[in-house]
Structure 1
Amino acid sequence: MLLQHSALYTLARGLPGLINFTALAIYTRLLAPEEYGHYALVIAAVGLANAVLFQWLNLGLLRYLARYRDRKPIFLSTLVAGYLAVVILSAMLGLVLWSCWPEAEMRALIGLGILFLWAQALFDANLQMAASQLTPQRYGLLAITKSLASLALGGTLAWWGFGAAGVLWGLIGGLILAVVLWAREEWRHLSPHHVDKGLMGQLLSYGLPLTATFALTFVVSSSDRLLLGWLQGSHSAGLYAVGYDLPNQALGVLMMVVHLAAYPLAVHALEQKGRGAAQVQLKKNAIGLLSIALPATVGLVLLAPNIAQVVLGAEFRKAAVALSFWIAIASFLAGIKAYYFDLAFQLGQRTIVQVWIALVAATINLILNLWLIPKLSIMGAAYGTLCAYLSALVLSMMLGRRYFKLPIPGYESLKILGATFVMGLALWPLLSLEGLMGLSIQVFVGMVSYGLFVLVFNIADSRILLFNRLFPERRTI
């Protein structure tokens, strides 16, 4: 089931990921670095607000919807009551921020940022519901519709000269359209009479520690661009945001594909069959995550110059190449922590420990950013981010085993490392290729060489599974 769901989520997240890459290519050609910096600052601020205000609802939905599937109207009514309460709170906070902000251009974007925050939170809830209910098809329809509509509307408005505001309007329109088209039926049986105070307390007690964790994690991932905007202006923030997003989005999509397919299966195994079954599933999850993330990281590092040339506008390429190695490694470490080692706290229901880990990482990141950005500009921000993610991963590995033991597939990891090394050797003679055709050749050779040695090393029983699929009458397992 993991392979089947991973394949579906690859389409559901992979196609939007390609669309987002296209959006990055378009926006870096239509927006100047300063305009992109304004857009990036709004996205960072909304992401932080979403993590602080709304994530406890989405995390509770993902964790408990399977348990309350027989009382779904009560569960969803309680969830919506929490959402509406947070909407009112965020509206008041947004009004205060708008009245106090000194810069007129950014003040005009604050109202759009609030609308974007509400739309993003609603969209995220529907994505989590689709993932929790093991319906990757609906998940894909939501994600693909949002990406296509956002790019079409935002790109058109940016081309017409609306700048950062046009891109934000495109995002808002895409989020709302996706929910209206594919998720409105889920909310038909809502009623204020179904709101359960006990359930609300359960959502709060589970989700609030994770909310603090997400907020602090977001400090690590996005405070750097906010500090760059403060210390060195929107131009530097825009350059860094593009250089960060290029590898981070690519790796994030790939790793999230595995997580979306794998985590609900682990939860279901734990709830229905106990810890032993969950650990069997978790070992498969770890192998799947590493087998995707490691070669993708190495490929992004090796091919960074040509990827930047093909994807980005000319003003953004030099900074993106300089950042690529450090941000790719940081994104890999962050994904391994978030999508595997942090599961020990979530499955063990000790999410409060994640708060302290995230607090340490956020503190390291802020101190290093404040120290290094004035000296090294965008590279200082990258070094700070890498150190923060590394410290968080080490702490998560050390502390998580106290609450839920996660299997470490050492032998399979060595085989994945070997297949990735072979892929790097195959790519090395092709690094001088340039342009879209050159990048296509590089990606093809990398995928074929890695895939071949996945079969040679029989990673995750891939050779046996392929044999059984090709010759079902001679099945070996």
Structure 2
Amino acid sequence: MLLRHSALYTLARGLPGLINFAALAVYTRLLAPDEYGRYALVIAAVGLANAVLFQWLNLGLLRYLARYRDCKPRFLSTLAAGYLMVVLLSAMVGLVLWGIWPEPEMRSLIGLGILFLWAQALFDAHLQMTASQLTPQRYGLLAITKALTSLTLGSILAWWGFGATGVLWGLTGGLILAIVIWAREEWRHLSPYYVDKELMGQLISYGLPLTATFALTFVVSSSDRLLLGWLQGSHSAGLYAVGYDLPHQILGVLMMVVHLAAYPLAVHALEQEGWGAAQVQLKKNAIGLLCIALPATVGLILLAPNIAQVVLGIEFRKAAVALSFWIAMASFLAGIKAYYFDLAFQLGQRTLAQVWIALVAATINLILNLWLIPKLGIMGAAYGTACAYLSALVLSVILGRRYFKLPIPGYESLKIIVATLAMGLALWPLLSLKGFTGLGVQILVGMVSYGLFVLVFNIAGSRTLLFNRLFLERRII
């Protein structure tokens, strides 16, 4: 089931990921670094607000919807009540910020940022619902509609000269359209009479510690560009944002594909079959995550110069190549932590412990950024981010075992490392290739060489599965 759901989520997240990748290429050609910097700063601020205000609802939905599937209207009505309370709170905060913000250009973006925040939170809730219900097809329709509409609207408005404001309107429009088309039916049975105070308390007790964790984690992932904007201006923030987003988006999509398929299966196994079944499923999840993430990280590092040349506008390429190793490594560490080792706290329902880990990582990141950015600029921000994620991963591995012991597939991991090294050796003679055709050749060689070694080593039973499928087809014929 994991392989089937991963394949479906590869389409569901992969196609939007390609569209978002195309958006990065388009926006770096339509926006100057300072305009892209303002856009990136708004995205970072909205992301932080989303993590602080709304994530506890989405996390509670993902964790408990399977448990309350027989009384879904009560569960969703309670969830909607929580969403509306947070919308009112964020509206008041937005009005205060609009009244006191000194810079006119950024003040004009506050109202749009609040609208974008509400749409993003509601869209995220629908994505979590489809993932929890094991419906990757609906997930894909939501994500593809949003990504394609956002790119189309944002590109047109940016080309017409609306700059960062146009791109943000495009993103907001894409979110709203996707919700209206594909998700409105989910809420037709809502009623204020179904709101359950006890259930709301359960969502709060589970989600608020995770909200603090997500907010602090967001400090690690986005405070660097906010500090760059403060200390060195929107130009540096724009260069860093592109250099960060290029590898982070690719790795994030690939690792999230596995997580979206794997986590609901682990929760279902734990809730329906017990601890032993969950351990079996979690081992499969770990192998699948590493099998995708490690070769992708190495490939991004090796091919960074050609990827930047093909994808990015000329003003952004040099910075992106310089950042590629550190951001790719930081993204890999962050994904392994968030999508596997943090599950110990969530499955063990001890989410408060994650707050302390995130607090340590955020503190390290802030201290290093304040120290290194004035000296090293964007590279200082990258060093601080990588150190923060490494410390968070180590703490998550050590502390998580107290609450829920996760299996570590050591032998399979070793085989994945060897297969990745073989891929790197196959790519090495091709690193001088340039341009779109050269990048296509590099990617093809990397995928084929890695895939062959996956089969040779029978990683995750791939060779056995392939031979069984071929044998079955021959019998049918």
Q: Quote the Cα distance in structure 1 between the aligned partners of 2:337 and 2:114.
A: 30
Q: Quote the Cα distance in structure 1 between the aligned partners of 2:232 and 2:100.
A: 22
Could you tell me the percent identity over the aligned residues?
88
Instruction: Name 1:198's counterpart in structure 2.
Output: 198
Instruction: Name 2:32's counterpart in structure 1.
Output: 32
Render the CA deviation track for 1:418-466: whole Å, top value 9, x for unaligned.
Answer: 1000000000000000000000000000000000100000000000000
Q: Quote the Cα distance in structure 2 between the aligned partners of 1:268 and 1:474.
A: 35
Q: Quote the Cα distance in structure 2 between the aligned partners of 1:296 and 1:454.
A: 14
Helix, strand or coil at the partner of 2:161: coil
- Off by >3 Å, runs of 4+ in structure 1: none
Q: Quote the Cα distance in structure 2 between the aligned partners of 1:158 and 1:341.
A: 40
Instruction: Name 1:75's counterpart in structure 2.
Output: 75
Amino acid at match of 2:273: K
Instruction: Name 1:2's counterpart in structure 2.
Output: 2
Amino acid at match of 1:370: L
Q: Quote the Cα distance in structure 2 between the aligned partners of 1:445 and 1:228.
A: 38
Decide whether the 8 Å contact of 1:61 with 1:129 is kept in 2.
Answer: yes
Instruction: Name 1:135's counterpart in structure 2.
Output: 135
Instruction: Name 1:66's counterpart in structure 2.
Output: 66
Residues 149-228 of structure 1: pairs in structure 2 closer than 5 A = 149-228=149-228
Amino acid at match of 1:3: L
Measured after TM superposition, the shift of residue 232 of structure 1 is 0.3
Q: Quote the Cα distance in structure 2 between the aligned partners of 1:441 and 1:310.
A: 13
Amino acid at match of 2:85: A
Q: Quote the Cα distance in structure 2 between the aligned partners of 1:212 and 1:39.
A: 25
Measured after TM superposition, the shift of residue 473 of structure 1 is 6.7
Q: Does residue 51 of structure 2 align to residue 51 of structure 1? A: yes
Amino acid at match of 2:191: S
**Structure 2: 5+ residue runs without aligned partners?**
none
Measured after TM superposition, the shift of residue 61 of structure 1 is 0.1
Residues 357-368 of structure 1: pairs in structure 2 closer than 5 A = 357-368=357-368
Q: Quote the Cα distance in structure 2 between the aligned partners of 1:132 and 1:242.
A: 32
Instruction: Name 2:89's counterpart in structure 1.
Output: 89
Measured after TM superposition, the shift of residue 471 of structure 1 is 1.1
Render the CA deviation track for 1:115-165: whole Å, top value 9, x for unaligned.
Answer: 000000000000000000000000000000000000000000000000000
Amino acid at match of 1:15: L
Render the CA deviation track for 1:387-411: whole Å, top value 9, x for unaligned.
Answer: 0000000000000001000000000
Residues 303-314 of structure 1: pairs in structure 2 closer than 5 A = 303-314=303-314
Instruction: Name 2:449's counterpart in structure 1.
Output: 449
Q: TM-score, normalised by structure 1?
A: 0.99
Amino acid at match of 1:207: G
Measured after TM superposition, the shift of residue 474 of structure 1 is 8.1
Q: Quote the Cα distance in structure 1 between the aligned partners of 2:96 and 2:13.
A: 36
Helix, strand or coil at the partner of 1:292: helix
Instruction: Name 2:264's counterpart in structure 1.
Output: 264
Q: TM-score, normalised by structure 2?
A: 0.99
Render the CA deviation track for 1:195-247: whole Å, top value 9, x for unaligned.
Answer: 00000000000000000000000000000000000000000000000000000
Q: Quote the Cα distance in structure 1 between the aligned partners of 2:323 and 2:364.
A: 19
Measured after TM superposition, the shift of residue 363 of structure 1 is 0.1
Amino acid at match of 2:430: L
Amino acid at match of 2:266: A
Decide whether the 8 Å contact of 1:37 with 1:237 is kept in 2.
Answer: yes
Q: Quote the Cα distance in structure 1 between the aligned partners of 2:210 and 2:417.
A: 32
Measured after TM superposition, the shift of residue 470 of structure 1 is 1.1
Residues 78-477 of structure 1: pairs in structure 2 closer than 5 A = 78-472=78-472
Pairs aligned (count): 475
Amino acid at match of 1:112: L
Amino acid at match of 1:205: S
Render the CA deviation track for 1:279-321: whole Å, top value 9, x for unaligned.
Answer: 0000000000000000000000000000000000000000000
Measured after TM superposition, the shift of residue 71 of structure 1 is 0.4
Measured after TM superposition, the shift of residue 102 of structure 1 is 0.7
Decide whether the 8 Å contact of 1:468 with 1:474 is kept in 2.
Answer: no
Instruction: Name 1:13's counterpart in structure 2.
Output: 13
Helix, strand or coil at the partner of 2:168: helix
